[in-house]
Structures are given as C-alpha cells and as structure tokens.
Amino acid sequence: MSQTSPESPAGGTADRRPDVELRLPADSAYVSVLRTTTAGLAARLDFTIDDIEDLRIAVGEASAVVLPEADEASDLVCRFHMSPGELTITVTVTVSEPTTPDYDSFAWQVLSTLATHASVESGGGELTVQMTMASDLAGAGR
C-alpha cells in the first residue's frame, strides 16, 4: 500500500546532486518526454513492467499538479535520484505566488496511490512535487 505525506517531502534528496536532471518547457506537450525518461531510468534500475507503468502515470499526474500553476516562462525541472530498487523524482515549476496544492484533485489522488511516498512543497517561488517509488523486487532478495 502506498504511503503519502503531503506536508513534508521525502527526506535526503535536497542535499544531494541528482543523478539525472531534465529541463523542459512548462507545457503539457512535453510531458511525454518526461514519461519516457522516467520509464528508461526505472528500467535501468530493474523495476518491473508494472512499476514502470505506474511511474509513467505518476510523473504525468505530478505534471498535472504543477503545470497549471506554472509561470508563463517557467521551465518544468525534473530531478531523478536513483538508488538500488528506488527512484525519487521531483517535478518543479516556478510560480509567482505560493499556492496550496489541491489534495482532493484527481491528479493528486492517482499520484499518491501509485507512489510509495509523495509530497508537495510550495515556497521560495517554486511548486514541487516529490515522489519515491520502491521497486516490488527491492524486498524480494534479488
């Protein structure tokens, strides 16, 4: 079962340099690039086909949370932190005013169900969704 903590992001990644960083225009037309990149990285970590598809959906929903709030000239910045059996992804846009995420939205409900951990942070001129997915195989003693 997924656990979510909308109040605070999963710890540890803010201090580390991401393994992969992707910067795209903050436009829904580019979400497919993010989904494909996510799938490729998850496959590299030996995630199952089901987990890869869940991650593809989850990053699409994370984008659906942040993109409507993005400033007009903002970039969609995605950072990937990889470790054996686990992938942490942050999706960030620049915002003019702090915004309160809609935890009742369809996008958040899907995202928080699919991810092992998910959170939203708004402040410092940015809106960020952070999610972590642990592979189903991670605990299976590969």
Partner residues linked to 21 by β-bridges: 79
Domain ranges of the chain: 20-134
Tens digit of pLDDT for each residue in 62-112? 999 999 999 998 999 999 999 999 999 999 999 998 788 889 999 999 999
pLDDT digits (tens, 9 = 90+) for 36-76: 999 999 999 999 999 999 999 999 999 999 999 999 989 99
Architecture of the domain whose range is 20-134:
2-Layer Sandwich (3.30)
Flag whether the pTM goes above 0.75. Answer: yes
Amino acid at 100: T
Cα 142 from Cα 129, distance rounded (Å):
30
Contact 127, 133 (CB under 8 A): no
Q: How many CB atoms lie within 10 A of CB 139?
A: 9
